[in-house]
Amino acid sequence: MSAQIGETVTITSSTIGLFGRYLLSAGRNHFVSDQRAAAGGPGEAITAGELLLSSLGSCSLGLIQKTAKEQGIALREARTEVTFQRHATDPTQYESIRIAVRLSGVTESEAETLVSGFTSNCPIYNTLKRGGPVEISWTVS
């Protein structure tokens, strides 16, 4: 499911009879998500925070590959590791979100171009960045 500019995308979620377990539907894709065990949920399926991190990882890789293709950059491999730390005193915030990008087969300059292709075009990243401290780094091997 890929949203176009100006397009409205809707994801539905519903409880399914087990406290803390939810059915999420995105178009024809359906999956289960759980509330964290520490919050009283089953904690077996992917959690809301993990979904957020996954969306950043997916958006970063998609836009890095797109930028490489458009710019003729011979990207061999790309990986991201996305982490967050919950705020120590305010449970409604993350203290930090960090995105570590590892790129193979490119120069430092090309890496900067690829990461910029992500950070300047990903609505998930930019929405989060405006709302708090989001940090990104990359390495080249």
pLDDT in tens, the chain (141 residues): 566 777 888 999 999 999 999 999 999 999 999 999 999 999 999 999 999 999 999 999 999 999 999 999 999 999 999 999 989 999 888 889 999 999 999 999 999 999 999 999 999 999 988 887 778 889 898
What is the model's pLDDT at position 3? 65
> Angle formed by the axes of helices 123-131 and 108-119, to 10°?
80
Residue type, 43: G
Contacts of 108 (CB under 8 A, 6+ apart): 140
Alpha helices, H only, the chain: 48-71, 108-119, 123-131
Architecture of the domain made up of 48-140: 2-Layer Sandwich (3.30)
Strands 94-104 and 134-140: parallel
Distance, CA of 27 to chain centre: 19
Residue type, 138: W
Tell me if residue 21 falls in helix, strand or coil.
strand
What is the model's pLDDT at position 2? 60
As given in the structure block, the two tokens for residue 43 are 């904690």
In Å, what is the CA distance from 125 to each residue of 17, 87, 95, 112?
33, 19, 16, 16
| Closest by Cα among 99, 90, 94, 85 to 132 | 94
What is the model's pLDDT at position 139? 87
| Closest by Cα among 86, 90, 23 to 52 | 86
